[in-house]
Every structure is written in C-alpha cells, then in structure tokens.
Amino acid sequence: MRRRFVSARASQRGYMLMLVLVALVAMMISGVALVRSMDTNQLIAGNMASRNSTIHSADLAVQQAVNWIQANATNGALFADAPASGYNASQPAQEPDWTKPATWSQCTTTSGATPCFNASDGAGNQVSWMIHRMCSIAGGPGTANQFCSSLNGTASSAGNSYSSDAVIFNGLPKNFYRISIQVTGPRNTTTLTQAFVTL
C-alpha cells in the first residue's frame, strides 16, 4: 500500500489569504472611522471657540451699555426713548421675540453708526444691544401712573444694611435697567444675553 503525503501548504487552499483580506478590511474601516472622529472633534472645538467668542463679545456689550446709561444719567435723557441708541424708557407691554431680526432693527444699520450696533467687534461678531428701563411708562420721577422697579438708595449704596433694625439714611432710588444683547458670529452662532443693572 502506497501512502500519499499532502503538504500542509496545499491543504490550506487559500484560507490565510481570506483571513488577511478580512483583517485589512477591518483595519481600513477603523482607520476611516478614526479620521471621521478627528474631523468631528475639530468641528466641535471650532463651534465651542465661536460660542465662547460670542459670550465674550456679549460681556463687552453689557459694559458698553452700562457706560451709555451712566453717560446719560444726569441730563434727563433716560426719561424718554432714544431708539437710535437702543434705549427704551419703559418696559415693553409684551415681551419681544428676541430671535426675530425685526426686534433688533432699531439698532442694526448698514453704516454701524448707532451706539447700540457694532458691525464687527474684532472677532468677526456683530453685536446689538437694547436697554429697557424697568418702568411702566416713560417720563421722569413723579410722572402720573408710573411704576418703576427700583432699589431705595438708602442701604447698599451707602454701605448700610437692608435688615429691619438697620439705621436708614435718605437717598435717591435707583432704577433697574434690562440690557438685552444679541451677538451673531461668523459660524451662524447667535448668543442672546440679558443683564439687569441698577444705577
């Protein structure tokens, strides 16, 4: 009887080739997924940087609006509306839709000449702000049917206390002002910010 020997290489019949091809396909898929993951991370990082830029611009706009209020606090200009400056001497009868461009149209001009609009703040953001004095109607103190949200100037402004047994000093009331800011960034990022100040 004659025995026939078959080599190990002949008995495999290409199985290793199939395994190597499957491994190569798996490595290619994981490589593509890694590249796509890196692209997604870069997009997320870019969006976060753009959002942070608009938040910093909104902080700067709050300070600019406060400076405008302080500059006009002594000449009686705060008792009447100043639409070109983004100032309203009374609170709105109905809360505006802050996401609509028409809400911000009083500040947005092509020349950027209004104090409440900055076409480019250096970071590529467009900044608009509006101020509402938290009073029911426009006018100076003592106007009939006018109710204002205010702090009595007798306590914290003089370093005193609001506690019931504190010594009270006389002072002028300080009105609340609501500053609303819209910042539009170059990557379709829009930030809406509101701050209340009393002066």
Query: What pLDDT does 196 receive?
Result: 92
Q: How many domains does the chain have?
A: 1
- Residue 27: its pLDDT value, please? 92
Q: Which amino acid is at 167?
A: V
Give the residues across from 176 on adjacent strands.
198
The answer as to whether 2 is a domain residue is no
- State the pLDDT at residue 131: 92
Do 122 and 135 contact (CB within 8 A), yes or no?
Answer: no
Tell me the per-residue pLDDT of 93-147, one tens digit each, with 9 for 90 and over: 888 898 888 888 877 655 545 678 887 787 888 888 899 999 999 988 778 888 8
pLDDT tens-digit profile of 68-89? Answer: 899 888 888 899 998 888 899 9
pLDDT of residue 29: 92
Stated pTM of the model: 0.70
- Express each pLDDT in 15-56 by its tens digit: 788 888 899 999 999 988 888 877 788 888 888 888 888 888
Assigned domain for 59 exists? yes
Residue 41 counted as domain residue: yes
Does residue 166 fall inside a structural domain?
yes
The pLDDT, as a whole number, for residue 162 is 56
Is residue 152 predicted with pLDDT exceeding 80?
no
Is 1 a member of any domain?
no
Write the CA distances from 50 to 60, 120, 185, integer angstroms. 16, 14, 7
The residue with greater pLDDT, 174 or 136, is 136
- The pLDDT of residue 156 is above 60: no
The parent domain of residue 155 ranges over: 8-198
Query: What does the pLDDT read at residue 90?
Result: 92
- For residue 141, tell me if it sits in a domain: yes
Structure tokens at 3: 């025995």
Contact of 163 with 32, CB cutoff 8 Å: no
The answer as to whether 62 is a domain residue is yes
Phi-psi sector, 127: left (phi>0), alpha (psi -120 to 50), beta: beta
